[in-house]
Each structure stands twice: as structure tokens, then as C-alpha cells.
Chains A and B, each alone.
Chain A
Amino acid sequence: MLRVDATQLLKGVLDLAVLAVLRDEDGYGYDILRRLRAGGLEEVGDASVYGTLRRLFNAGLLNSYVVPSDEGPHRKYYALNEAGRAELQRSGKVWQGFASIMEDLLRERGKA
């Protein structure tokens, strides 16, 4: 009945994950996808990241700029703006609170 699966969980936190990988360095779509996968989110879908970037941009949390590339196509880079940083901080706290509650819950269950 109850099945927790990484893909389901990911849906809730992908926004936060994308904001997090953009905290220190701007990136373009495929680059961001690579960072997420390198960070351990192997299941993340290409279209999901692409769509999430679009949505965060439309929500005003990201700025974008185009960088001409010597070989290959021009790349659209995304960067956190002020609103994005504020959102990352706020959501980050919510997630950490939630995660520690879950950890406690799971540990107590384990003890019992």
C-alpha cells in the first residue's frame, strides 16, 4: 500500500535541489542535470530539470543570460537572484526541519 520511492520524494524537493546546485555557481540546463546526478540524485529526469528551470525562472527566482560558445550551440545560463537565494534559505530550513523530524521518527521506531 504505502510505497516510498525516490522518484516520488524527488518531485517534492527538486526545486530545492536545483536552487541548491546553483547556489555557488551559475549553470546551463545540462550542466545542472550533471551536478544533480553527481550529487547522488541518479533518478532525476532530464525533462524534469529542464521544466523545473523554466518554472523557477518564470517564478522570478532565477536570472538567465546567453553565453556564446566556441564550439556547439549558445548556452542559456541560469543564476540565483536575490529572490532565489531567499527562497533557497527558507525552503532549505523547512526541508532540514522536516528531515530531522523524519530522522527522529525513524530512529524511535527502530528503537521500539
Chain B
Amino acid sequence: MNLTAQDEIAVYVEGVRQALAGVPAGIRDELLEDLPEHLAEVLAEGGGSLTERLGPPEAYAAELIASAGIPAAGARPAGGRSRLADQAAETAARHRARLRGFLDRADVRIGPLLGYPKASDFLVLLRPAWWVLRGYLAAMAAAVMLHDHSSPLGLLPRVGGDDFIALLLLTLGILGSVWLGRRTAPAGRWRRRAIRFGSAFLVLFAVIGFFEVDSAAQQDSYQEVSYNGGPFGGLDDVYVYDGQGRLLTGVHLYDQNGSPILLGDGYCYDETGIALFESRAMGYPQCPDTPPFNERGPGAAADPRATPDASPATPDASPAASAASPATPGASSAAPAPSSAAPTVGPSAEASVPAAPR
């Protein structure tokens, strides 16, 4: 059956459907249910187009109504559907036919790649596998809906965390699904639709479930190492205090083999505790501005910082003072600037000053 035949049938059926616009939707759908297959038979016999063989769709619809014993309300009411809606329906029918034609051609083209005349021949063989999978998915979906979050479900439908119930539910699901699949095709349009809709739901459920399980499996592998494992879980930085309670900076830690012990993540929060920046400290603590103990001991923090500042000042001060010989008031005014070093600098500067004018 080629595309043009599909097209012709779809358009003809749509024409009949429009002519039956006055018939209640349920009856109309039922009347038209097998029409495409029937028209395909008519067309397969050859001898002209459908309209040539059967007359216009409107006449066909009228004959159908008369013979099917439907009350004469079947006559199309004026303005029941707008022309635009008619055209839209016809276009939709044509698109449906084109899609079906495309699938048919893809079926034949992909088949040989799988070693079968048609891809659908191969897919039909997978049907029982799908039934089993569908049963499992249905059991899982039921378990997820009944799940009370008291214990994790895992990959079995453990309702209430019970393994026995899980196996029972799984067995029922698979048996039910296989039974449903093995039955000959159900004639009812709505039952067929219900099964199709249910299957689509389960496929969606399976896709979502798959990604959830996949991401959970990925997280497990690094969670253990970096967050939960070992005595250093949750450790971000190291602060070392000496005997006087003074915070040491630029500390490096090594193990018994001389390998550096690297702890923390190398990132710091600023004083506000909101902004994160990369640490530029050499050694620990990586974030010296946010120590865990804020109160500093008497002179604990002030002393170690002041000493390195003051000591180089001493040798610097004397040559500077001796070179600037006439600037006596300048030297004396500079002297008090380094607070703790002032007494040491003062006499040496004064000692050199009297020698300068000579």
C-alpha cells in the first residue's frame, strides 16, 4: 500500500466523518472504526478511485446511516462545524496518513539492518519481553504510589519495606501483564485506548525512574570519600594554636613519610559568610580571617605581627638619620612613629646628630 492510497483513504474517511457530524460522537467513531481497513480492500481491488467506486463521501455516509439503523438525525446540521474546522480535520487526516506512510517505509528500510524483512518483524519477537518489563514497571509504579517513605524502596516493589510483598507484587504484575498481552486483540476501542495510555504512562515512569536510579548510583561513589567517610568528614580548614593560645599561620602539615597532609577544599567565606573565594594563603589556615575562636589572648595576635615590623626598622633608622644630618627636627619627629621601636632608635639618632654639624 503506498502513500497516495493511504492519503486517499484518510481523506475519504474524513469526508464521511464530516458528513456524519450530526451523529453522536460515540456512534460515529464506532461506525468509522473499521472503515479505513475496509476501504483499503476496496482500493486494492483496483478499478478507479474511491469516489469513482463508491460515490462521494456524503452519499456513502447517507447510505451508511440508513443501513446501520441510525435515526435520521444523521443529516448534517447547518453550521455544525465551520469550514475552517473541516479543513483542519482534513489536513490532520492527511498528516496522519503521511506519518503512517513514513513509518511503513522506515519499517521496510530498517528491517534489513536487523536481519529481518521489516523492523516490525523483529519488534514483534520482543513482545513477550516487553510484557515482562511492563509487569515489573506496573508493580513498581503501584509500589511508588503506595510508598510511605518509611524505608527505601530499592529496585523491588517493597510496599511497607517487605521483601515478601515485593516478590508477590512483582509476580502478580508480570503474570497480569503477560495475560493481557497473550489475549487476542481486544475489540473494544476504549479498552485498546486504555491499554495504550497505560503503556505510555509506564514508559514515562520507567524513563524518570531510570534517571533517578542512575544519578543515585553516581552520587554514592563520591559521597563516601569526600563527605561521609573517615574522621575528617565535613572538614574544611585547619587552625593551629600554640601553647599561649596564639593562632599560627602559614603552617604546613606532613605525615610520618613526609607527604604533605592536604585537608579542606581551599575555599573561604568572607566575613559576611556569604561570598566564597579561593584561598591565597600558603599553608594552614587557608582562611585566617575567619578563625573558630575570635577572642585573642593578651598580645597574642599583636606581638608576632609587630616584631617583624619593628626589627628591620632598627638598622634602617640609623643610616637614615646619619645621612640626613641637618634635619635634626625631622629625625626626632620620625622617631616616635614606630611605637615600640622608638626608645631604641631615639638615642642612636641623637648620638649621631651632634657629630653631623662638625
Contacts and interface: CB of A to CB of B under 8 A. Distances in A.
Interface of A: 14, 28-31, 45-52, 54-55, 64-66, 68, 72-76
Interface stretch (B27-35, B194-202, B221-229, B264-272): B27-35
B67 A52 contact: yes
B268 to A, nearest CB: 70
A54 B68 contact: yes
Contact of A51 (B37, B59, B67, B185): B67
Contact of B67 (A48, A75, A76): A48
B35 A74 contact: no
Interface of B: 1, 30-31, 34-38, 40-42, 44, 53-54, 59-61, 63-69, 184-185, 187
A34 B240 CA distance: 100
B330 to A, nearest CB: 111
Contacts of B53: 46
Contacts of A46: 38, 42, 53-54, 60
A55 B69 contact: yes
Given A72-B1, A76-B34, A29 B41 contact: yes
B60 A47 contact: yes
A47 B54 contact: yes
A11 B59 CA distance: 16
B30 A54 contact: yes
Contacts of B68: 51-52, 54-55
B279 to A, nearest CB: 71
A17 to B, nearest CB: 12
A47 B20 CA distance: 13
A14 B53 CA distance: 20
B187 A73 contact: no
Residue with the greatest number of chain B CB neighbours at <10 A, chosen from A46, A47, A66, A76: A47
B158 to A, nearest CB: 39
Contacts of A29: 34, 37-38, 41
A60 to B, nearest CB: 13
